[in-house]
Amino acid sequence: MTTETTPAIRYAAVTFDCADPAGLARFYGELLGYRTLFATDDFVLLGTEGTPGLGFTRVADYRPPTWPDPAQGKQAHIELGVDDLADAERRILELGATKPEFQPGEKRWRVLLDPAGHPFCITTLA
């Protein structure tokens, strides 16, 4: 009788393509209170020891998403839980995010764009 062991697999990070990994890492580091765990000229990993993090990798011909226009899809996005939408939106815009005109659920969540153009949502539902 053979017993198989299940290998340990852990969620480590989500990595975003961008033109400027250090710049985008500064934005998310300030936003989430994460610190740099690893960095090269082409990649930065943010997080806290022992928890999943966010990575940013340089892509030479990076083209930002054109959300909500599907011409250059949003690729992926993250959801961030907040206590107050207006207060969180104000702070995130101060850090360098932008707010697109189209907002599909503004009373429940807001869509913002990070400095590299990736959409992300803030919500009081999480």
Q: Is the pLDDT of residue 75 over 90?
A: no
Q: Cα dist. 78→13, 41, 61, 70, 84 in Å?
A: 12, 24, 23, 18, 18
**Backbone torsions φ then ψ of 16, nearest 5 degrees:** -105, 135
Q: 65, 111 in Cβ contact below 8 A?
A: no
The reported pLDDT for the residue numbered 76 is: 73
- Cα 20 to Cα 16: distance, rounded to the nearest angstrom: 11
- Cα 99 to Cα 120: distance, rounded to the nearest angstrom: 10
The reported pLDDT for the residue numbered 2 is: 62
pLDDT higher at 9 or 76: 76
Interval 24-63: pLDDT, tens: 999 999 999 999 999 999 999 999 988 889 999 999 999 9
Domain extents in the chain? 13-61+75-124
pLDDT higher at 17 or 67: 17
- Fold type of domain 13-61+75-124: 2,3-Dihydroxybiphenyl 1,2-Dioxygenase; domain 1 (3.10.180)
Rg value, the chain, Cα = 17
The pTM for the full model equals 0.79
pLDDT grade for 100, boundaries at 50, 70 and 90: very high
The reported pLDDT for the residue numbered 110 is: 93
Interval 102-120: pLDDT, tens: 998 878 889 999 999 999 8
Q: 26, 34 in Cβ contact below 8 A?
A: no
